[in-house]
Amino acid sequence: ERLKLEEEYLGVYLSGHPAEGFDRLRLAKQVQLITDIVPNQPVNLLLMIKEVREIRTKKGELMAFVEGTDSSGEISVTVFPTLYRKYRNLFAVDQVIFVQGRSEISKYNQELQLIGESFADPRQLETQYPSQT
């Protein structure tokens, strides 16, 4: 709640962006910041979900466009039907999520976007990597 108010009124998180941390995961998976993404490359990101917009495809299947942020910016992630069915429970507003995908320039608005290929709860992934002591 406090984080949401900080971002809403100040435009920044005074107490740190929710997607920060997860140091072991960042190192093991070479997690990038949104501002470091280059088009047409594989990408690993930690994002806080800002919005989930579901749509139905021509075949009647649900897919989603997920808006996510990290400490450097915001990006749209396209989640096609097969992956949306598999990972749907992870896509909740204000949830932090680990995203693997491929970056591209959108044909509609010429902005950088991500095509999601794999998603995970970073808290679960973090336990797979030993701490560096």
CB of 106 closer than 8 Å to CB of 88: no
Tell me, yes or no, whether 51 lies in a domain: yes
Distance CA 27, CA 25 (A): 5
What is the total count of domains within the chain?
1
Predicted TM-score (pTM) of the model is 0.82
Domain span at 101 = 19-126
Summarize pLDDT for 3-52 with one digit per residue, the tens.
555 556 555 544 565 667 788 787 888 999 999 999 999 999 999 999 99
Q: How far apart are CA 23 and CA 4, in angstroms?
A: 23
- Assign residue 44 the CATH number of its domain: 2.40.50.140
In a domain, 117, yes or no: yes
* H helical segments located in the chain: 2-10, 23-29, 81-87, 122-126
Contact call for residues 76 and 113 (beta carbons, < 8 A): yes
Residue 73 inside a domain? The answer is yes
Q: Tens of pLDDT along 69-105? A: 998 999 999 999 999 999 999 999 999 999 999 999 9
